[in-house]
């Protein structure tokens, strides 16, 4: 393999998944979003079921703490963790969706939304306040327990 081709390779499975998602979105556009959201949601539910077996309780704060161990601490900042709310901000999308579209971000974020809903056994609302996929300088996401 030529040395130049190595720089285009994904550095981890999440980046590879992002390349696939972007390629599908580029080819099929908005029509692909429900499929992307459904499959990403299934992935999130599966991950939520796995983490639920490993944690002592299903409180949002416990799930958020476990989730926090899975991302790059240098590019994501925890704004708050409690049993009612978890807020994070990130400078880089792990899927490489920067400057693609907010709608694509929302479809892919079904992973995290279903992860939290499944792991907490609660109705969790996800609000994407800012997203680098939509051109914002950083992502700002809030997971909140519905009352």
In whole angstroms, give the CA distance from residue 138 to residue 4: 29
Q: How confident is the model at residue 74 (pLDDT cuts 50, 70, 90)?
A: confident
Q: What pLDDT digit, counting tens, does each position of 88-110 carry?
A: 999 999 999 999 999 999 999 99
Q: Which two tokens stand for residue 112?
A: 């995290």
Q: What domains sit in the chain, N to C, each tagged with a CATH number?
A: 14-145 (3.30.1380.20)
Q: What pLDDT digit, counting tens, does each position of 1-57 carry?
A: 445 556 679 999 999 999 999 999 999 999 999 999 999 999 999 999 999 999 999
Closest CA relative to residue 104, chosen from 13, 7, 27: 27
The predicted model scores a pTM of 0.91
């Amino acid at each position: 393999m030529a040395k130049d081709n190595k720089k285009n390779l994904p550095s981890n499975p999440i980046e590879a998944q992002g390349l696939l998602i972007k390629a599908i979105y580029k080819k099929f556009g908005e029509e692909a979003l429900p499929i992307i959201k459904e499959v990403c949601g299934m992935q999130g539910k599966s991950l939520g079921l796995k983490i639920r077996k490993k944690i002592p309780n299903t409180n949002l704060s416990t799930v958020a703490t476990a989730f926090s161990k899975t991302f790059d601490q240098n590019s994501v900042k925890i704004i708050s963790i409690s049993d009612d709310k978890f807020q994070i901000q990130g400078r880089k999308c792990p899927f490489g969706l920067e400057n693609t579209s907010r709608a694509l971000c929302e479809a892919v974020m079904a992973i995290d939304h279903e992860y939290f809903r499944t792991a907490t056994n609660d109705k969790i609302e996800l609000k994407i306040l800012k997203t680098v996929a939509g051109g914002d300088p950083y992502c700002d996401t809030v997971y909140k327990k519905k009352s």
